[in-house]
Chains A and B, each alone.
Chain A
Amino acid sequence: MYQDNEDDCKFAACTYFAKNHPGEMCGSNGLPLTPSSITILGRAQRLLTIEHPNLCTYLDVIRGKHERIIVVAEVIGKSLKECTSKFSFQEIVNIAKQVAISMKFLHDQDITHRTLSDDNILIDNEGRVKLFNYGLYYMTDGGSEVSFPLGLPRYLSPETILSGGGPAADVWSYGIILLELSIGKLWNNLKPGPILRRILTLVHANNPAERIAREHDCFEQYKQVPENLRNIIEKCLKIYPSERATFSELVEDLTKIDSKELVEVKTPRGLMGCKLQYLYHLWQLAGGDIQAELKKNYLIKNSPPILSMPIAILLDGCTIGGKTGALFDRRLAKYSLDLLKSRLSHVPPQDFYPLMHERRKEYDAVALPKIIRERDTEYQFYRLLWFHRLLHGYPYTAPYIRAEAEIDIPPLVRGDVWAALLGVVGDIEDQYERIDKETPTPTDRQIDVDIPRCHQYCWLLCGSAGHRTLKRLLKAWLLTNPQYVYWQGLDSLTAPFLYLNFCNEARAFACLSAFVPKFLHKFFLKDNSAVIKEYLAKFWQMTAFHEPELATHLHEINFVPELFAIPWFLTMFSHVFPLHKIVHLWDALLVEGPALPLFMGVGILRQLRDTLLSSGFNECILLFSDLPEIDIGECVKESIEMCRSSPRSVSYRRFTNEAVVKDPMDIVEIPMEVLFTEISPRINLSDFFSLICQDKCCVIDIRSNLLYEKSCIDGSINVPYSGVHLGQHELRALGLHPQKVIQEAIKQKKMVVVASAEDETAQLFSDYLVKCCVPRVCILHGGISALLTHVPSLFTVPPKRNGHK
C-alpha cells in the first residue's frame, strides 16, 4: 500500500518462508527438531532491541502459518533504488558516511549485514539515511534457516560467491553501491548467472573498480569522480577481504571529507513524537493488522493446497515436487498510522506530556477486567505515556511506579516495571558479566533435562536461543547462591523473567536474584523441609480462616496440601499456570508482597469450592493433578481482598527475609510442632489492639465466668469453655446471645478472636468455630494474661447481667 503521503508511513513489513525440516525428523534426544521459524524468532529478538539513528528499528517478528516469518520495521523516505534523480558527489559522500557509521555499529555488535543493496538503504527528504532489514543474515543464522540465497547477485563479493565470506563482504557490497551511485547502475539487464561470472573474473584485476568502469564504458566518467571518493571505493573493492578497509577506517576517512553534520531532527510533538514501539503497539490495539495488509497486497498469497502438495514422498520423508522454494520477496507493505491518528484525534495536546505530580488521572476503564484494559487503545495510550514518564525517573519514582502498578501494568513495559518493583538498580550488566556461566557442574544434567520441558508452548522459550539463555541464568543463579541447590521448579520460576527480558539477560538475572529472597527465602535450601512444611501449614490455616467450610471438609477427608500445593508455592505458581496467566498473578504478587501467595492458594481453592465440597479424596486429588481452568483475574482480586483484610500477624511465617521481631506486642511465633496442630492462626497483641480500636473484631473469652466477671476485655463476650459441647457443630449450641453476637460479627466481616487462659482450650474452641463454618477465626497469642500485662487499659469489669449467677 504505497501511500501518497510517504510521511504517514512509519513502518513496513516484508515476509519470507523459513526452511522446512524434511519429514518428521527427530533430534538425538527423540524430540522433534525445532522448526526453523522458531530459531529465527529467537535470534531476531536481539534485533528488536537495536536502536541507532541510521538503522530502521525492528518492531516485530511474527511467525505465521506454514513457517512464514513476517518482519515489521520502521521505514523512512524511499530507497536509493527508487530515487530517480542523480546524487551530487557531495550527497554521495554524505550517504556513504551515514551508511558507514551504521555498518560500523553493526559490525561492532558482531552482526554481518550480507544483504546490503540499493533497495534497503533508505533516505528521506532531509538526507537522513537508514538501513532497512539489515538483520536478515543474522536472524536466519547466516542463511541456514532459509532455503533461498541471501543478497542480490551484483552486490556479492567474490569470496561470498565462492565460499561464504565474513563481515568484509559487506565492505565490498558497500563499495559497489558507492560505485553505482557515482557511475550508474552496474550490470543492468544481465541475468544472475552472468553477473556472478563477471564478478568472479574480477579476481584477476588489479583495480576492480576501474575494471568495472571500463566494462561499462564509463571509465571517463569514473575518472571524474573526486579522488577522495574514488579512493574510498577502491579501498572497498579489493579482491582479498583482508586488504579491504574496515568500516571504522572508512568512517574516519569520510569524516575528513564530509564535515557536514546532519541537523538533529526535532522529535515532532504529539502522537508522532511517541516511541515507535509504542505507536506500533497502539496501532495494533486500534485494529491494525499486519497480515491482512500483506494479503491485500498479495505478499501473502493463498494458493489451493492441492498446488502445494508434493508429487511424491519418499520413505525417508523427503518430498519431490510440490511447492518449490521461492526467492526472497523484496517487496514491502507499508502501513499508515491514519487509523491510530483518528482513534486518538480527540486527545488534547497537553495529555501527551503528563506531569508527574499532577493528580492521578481517573480512567473509566479501570472498572473493566485487566485483559480488556490491555486491549483498549486509549487506555493503553495513557498508561504507556505515564509509565514511560515514571520509568524514566526510576529509581527516584519507585513509590509512584508501585502505586500505578497496583492498578495495572501495560504489557509493553512489564519487564521494566517488574524490575522497578523488585528494586533492580546498578550496573547489572557488569555484575552478570562477571559470573561464570559456562563451567560444567554436576547439576547440569538435571538442568539439561528440565529446560526442554519448561513452558515449551512459548515460541521464545522453546527455541535454542531460549534454552541456552535459561541454562545460563540458572547456572549463574546457582553459582551466586551457594547456600541453595537446584530444585526442579527453579526452571519454571526463572521462565517468566526470561520471557519478559529475553534480550536483557542481565536484567532477567537481577530480577530472579531479587525475587527469591523476597518470596522464596530458604525454599531452595538442600533441606527445605521445615520451610515448606511451615508454608503449607500457614496456607492451610489461611484456608480455615477464609474458607472454614471447605477447610473442614478437606480435613475430614484427610486431604493435605503436601499432596498438591508444593509446586504451587515452590514455583510461585509458575509451574502450574501458563505464562499469560503467571504475568497477571505476579503483577499482583510484586506489588502486594510475600504474604499474597498464601491467599492466592486459597483463591484457587475457592474457585474449585463447589467441586471440592462434593468430592471425596480421590476426586479431589485428581482435580489437582489436572487443574481445571482458573479465572486468574478473579483469583487475584479475591486474594488481594483476603490478604488486605487479614491482620498481618495472622499470616506470619518465621522463614522470611524480614527482621526478627522482638517487641512482645508483635511476637506471634510458636514452635513448629504447635503450628502443625493449630487449624486457626494466631494474632499478635498489636494487631489485636488495632482491631479493637477500629471495632473490627468480636472477642470470645472462653475462661470460666468467675474469671471473666473479675476482669475482662471491654466488649468481649464470655463463652466458658467447660460448657461447650465440642461434638455439636452448631452455633446454636453456644446459647442465644453468643450465637447472635457471632452471626452479627460474620455479617460485618469482623475477626473472631478467641481469648483464653491456656493455649489448648483456645485451640480446641477455635477448631470448633471453624467446624461451625465461622470465618476469620483466630487465637489471641499469649491469651488473656499477655494482653493484661501489655495493654491493661483494655480491661474492664463487666456489668452484672440479670439471670447470671
Chain B
Amino acid sequence: MATNRSGAAQRPNGAPQTKVCQFKLVLLGESAVGKSSLVLRFVKGQFHEYQESTIGAAFLTQTVCLDDTTVKFEIWDTAGQERYHSLAPMYYRGAQAAIVVYDITNQDTFGRAKNWVKELQRQASPSIVIALAGNKSDLAAKRMVEFEEAQAYADENGLLFMETSAKTAMNVNDIFLAIANKLPKSEGGGSAGAGGARRLGDAEQARSSSCCK
C-alpha cells in the first residue's frame, strides 16, 4: 500500500517534479451492473465472472499518471441494492468525482442511473465531476439502451460518457483517465496531504448520518 502522499518529494534528484493530487471517487448504480468489476479491472486488471455482491461498500485506491501530475484515486465502491441507498450519502459526501454505472442490456438500470445523477446534482458537492458508464458493452447483441440515447442524456447534463466493458477492459482505464483530466488540479483543490476534509471516516459525520436506513 505504497502511498503517494509524499511521492514528489521522494523522487530521485534530477527527476522532474510532479504534482500529486488525491481525489475521492464514488461508484453508484443499480446492483449487478458491474461497479465492483469496473473497479477491479481498473485497480488490479482482473475480472471475476462471479464477482460477489458488495454489501455496504468497498474501498480501493489506484494511481494514474498524467503529463505533469500523479492522480491518486480513493475509490468507494458502493452497494447497488436500493435498500442500501441511505448509506450512499456517507460515501459521496465530499467526493470530487463519481461514476454512475448502468448495464446496457437493461433499460431499468439506465433509469436508475439517471436518478443517481439527479441526486448527485442536488446533494453532492457542486463541483463534482460525474461520468456515466454504460457497462457490459461486450454484450452488445443484447443491448437495450442505445448509445445515442445515453450520449444525448450525458450531453444534456454535462456528464462524461463512455460505454465500457469490465470483462474485455474496453474503456475502463479511459474513463478513469478522462475523469482525472477533467478534475481541477490546483494545489488547493485536490493536492496531497489535505486529506482530512475529504476523509469519509469522520466519526461525527458517520455517526450522525443515517446509516442503513
| Given A30-B138, A566-B56, A570-B55, residue A488 in contact with residue B31 (CB < 8 A) | yes
Q: Is the CB of A560 within 8 A of B203?
A: yes
Taking CB atoms, residues of chain B closer than 8 Å to A30 are: 105, 136, 138-139, 167
Interface check A529, CB cutoff 8 A: yes
| Given A450-B32, A622-B59, residue A488 in contact with residue B206 (CB < 8 A) | no
| Given A562-B211, A575-B52, residue A446 in contact with residue B59 (CB < 8 A) | no
A55-63, A452-460, A657-665: which lies at the interface: A452-460
Interface check A377, CB cutoff 8 A: no
Taking CB atoms, residues of chain A closer than 8 Å to B52 are: 453-454, 575
- Which residues of chain A from 471 to 507 have any CB-CB distance to chain B below 8 Å in the complex? 485, 487-489, 491
Q: Is the CB of B206 within 8 A of A562?
A: yes
Interface check A722, CB cutoff 8 A: no
Q: How far is the CA of A137 from the CA of B31 in the complex (A)?
A: 39
| Given A28-B142, A529-B213, A533-B211, residue A563 in contact with residue B59 (CB < 8 A) | yes
| Given A570-B55, A575-B52, residue A449 in contact with residue B211 (CB < 8 A) | no
Question: In chain B, what residue has the closest Cβ to A450?
Answer: B53
Interface check A32, CB cutoff 8 A: yes
Q: Is the CB of A621 within 8 A of B59?
A: yes
Q: How far is the CA of A615 from the CA of B86 in the complex (A)?
A: 29
Interface check B81, CB cutoff 8 A: yes
Cβ-defined partner of A621 (8 Å) among B54, B86, B139, B201:
B201
Q: Is the CB of A567 within 8 A of B49?
A: no
Taking CB atoms, residues of chain B closer than 8 Å to A575 are: 52-53, 55
Cβ-defined partner of A558 (8 Å) among B3, B49, B199:
B199
Question: In chain B, what residue has the closest Cβ to A32?
Answer: B49
- Which residues of chain B from 193 to 213 have any CB-CB distance to chain A below 8 Å in the complex? 195, 199-203, 206-207, 210-213
Q: Is the CB of A462 within 8 A of B50?
A: yes
Interface check A617, CB cutoff 8 A: yes
Taking CB atoms, residues of chain B closer than 8 Å to A278 are: none
Which size bracket describes the interface of B in this complex?
35 or more
Interface check A240, CB cutoff 8 A: no
Interface check A528, CB cutoff 8 A: yes
Which size bracket describes the interface of A in this complex?
35 or more
Taking CB atoms, residues of chain A closer than 8 Å to B213 are: 527, 529
Question: In chain B, what residue has the closest Cβ to A523?
Answer: B212
Q: Is the CB of B50 within 8 A of A532?
A: no
Interface check B84, CB cutoff 8 A: yes
Q: Is the CB of B56 within 8 A of A625?
A: no
Interface check A89, CB cutoff 8 A: no
For residue B142, give the distance in angstroms from its CB to the closest CB of chain A: 7
- Which residues of chain B from 77 to 135 have any CB-CB distance to chain A below 8 Å in the complex? 79-81, 83-84, 86, 90, 105
Q: Is the CB of A449 within 8 A of B212?
A: no
Contact with A along B179-205 (1 / 0, CB 8 A): 000000000000000010001111100
Interface check A618, CB cutoff 8 A: yes
Q: How far is the CA of A570 from the CA of B203 in the complex (A)?
A: 21
- Which residues of chain A from 75 to 97 have any CB-CB distance to chain B below 8 Å in the complex? none
Interface check B15, CB cutoff 8 A: no
- Which residues of chain B from 53 to 77 have any CB-CB distance to chain A below 8 Å in the complex? 53-61, 74
Question: In chain B, what residue has the closest Cβ to A485?
Answer: B83
Taking CB atoms, residues of chain A closer than 8 Å to B80 are: 488
Question: In chain A, what residue has the closest Cβ to B201?
Answer: A558
| Given A527-B213, A533-B212, residue A562 in contact with residue B90 (CB < 8 A) | yes
Interface check A564, CB cutoff 8 A: yes
Q: Is the CB of A446 within 8 A of B136?
A: no
Q: How far is the CA of A611 from the CA of B206 in the complex (A)?
A: 23
Interface check A724, CB cutoff 8 A: no
Q: Is the CB of B50 within 8 A of A449?
A: no
Cβ-defined partner of B83 (8 Å) among A32, A449, A488, A533:
A488
Q: Is the CB of A625 within 8 A of B58?
A: yes
Interface check A372, CB cutoff 8 A: no
| Given A557-B201, A560-B201, residue A532 in contact with residue B60 (CB < 8 A) | no
Q: How far is the CA of A532 from the CA of B53 in the complex (A)?
A: 19
| Given A28-B142, A488-B81, residue A560 in contact with residue B207 (CB < 8 A) | yes
For residue A552, give the distance in angstroms from its CB to the closest CB of chain B: 13
Taking CB atoms, residues of chain B closer than 8 Å to A489 are: 53, 55
Q: How far is the CA of A491 from the CA of B55 in the complex (A)?
A: 11
For residue B210, give the distance in angstroms from its CB to the closest CB of chain A: 6
Interface check A555, CB cutoff 8 A: yes
Q: How far is the CA of A326 from the CA of B53 in the complex (A)?
A: 41
Q: How far is the CA of A624 from the CA of B84 in the complex (A)?
A: 19
| Given A30-B167, A450-B32, A559-B201, residue A567 in contact with residue B55 (CB < 8 A) | yes
Question: In chain A, what residue has the closest Cβ to B3?
Answer: A618
Question: In chain B, what residue has the closest Cβ to A566?
Answer: B56
Q: Is the CB of B84 within 8 A of A488?
A: yes
Q: How far is the CA of A485 from the CA of B83 in the complex (A)?
A: 9
Q: Is the CB of B49 within 8 A of A676?
A: no
Cβ-defined partner of B50 (8 Å) among A453, A555, A562, A570:
A453
Taking CB atoms, residues of chain A closer than 8 Å to B83 are: 485, 487-488, 526
Question: In chain B, what residue has the closest Cβ to A555?
Answer: B203
For residue B107, give the distance in angstroms from its CB to the closest CB of chain A: 13
Q: How far is the CA of A356 from the CA of B79 in the complex (A)?
A: 50
| Given A559-B201, A575-B55, residue A456 in contact with residue B50 (CB < 8 A) | yes
Interface check A571, CB cutoff 8 A: yes
Question: In chain B, what residue has the closest Cβ to A559?
Answer: B201
Interface check A217, CB cutoff 8 A: no
Q: How far is the CA of A32 from the CA of B202 in the complex (A)?
A: 42
| Given A450-B53, A560-B206, A618-B3, residue A566 in contact with residue B81 (CB < 8 A) | no
Q: Is the CB of A558 within 8 A of B31?
A: no
Q: How far is the CA of A619 from the CA of B61 in the complex (A)?
A: 10
Question: In chain A, what residue has the closest Cβ to B84?
Answer: A488
Contact with B along A428-459 (1 / 0, CB 8 A): 00000000000000000010011011101100
Interface check B51, CB cutoff 8 A: yes
Taking CB atoms, residues of chain B closer than 8 Å to A452 are: 50
17 contacts between A and B (CB under 8 A): A30-B105, A30-B167, A31-B50, A453-B51, A487-B83, A529-B86, A529-B211, A529-B212, A532-B212, A558-B201, A558-B203, A563-B56, A563-B57, A566-B212, A617-B199, A617-B201, A618-B59
Q: What 14 additional pairs, Cβ within 8 angstroms, besides A453-B50, A529-B86?
A: A28-B142, A30-B136, A30-B167, A453-B53, A456-B50, A488-B55, A488-B80, A491-B53, A560-B201, A560-B206, A563-B57, A567-B55, A618-B1, A625-B58
Interface on B for A, CB 8 Å cutoff? 1, 3, 31-32, 49-61, 74, 79-81, 83-84, 86, 90, 105, 136, 138-139, 142, 167, 195, 199-203, 206-207, 210-213
Question: Which 5 A/B pairs are nearest by Cβ-Cβ distance?
Answer: A449-B32, A456-B50, A567-B55, A566-B56, A529-B213
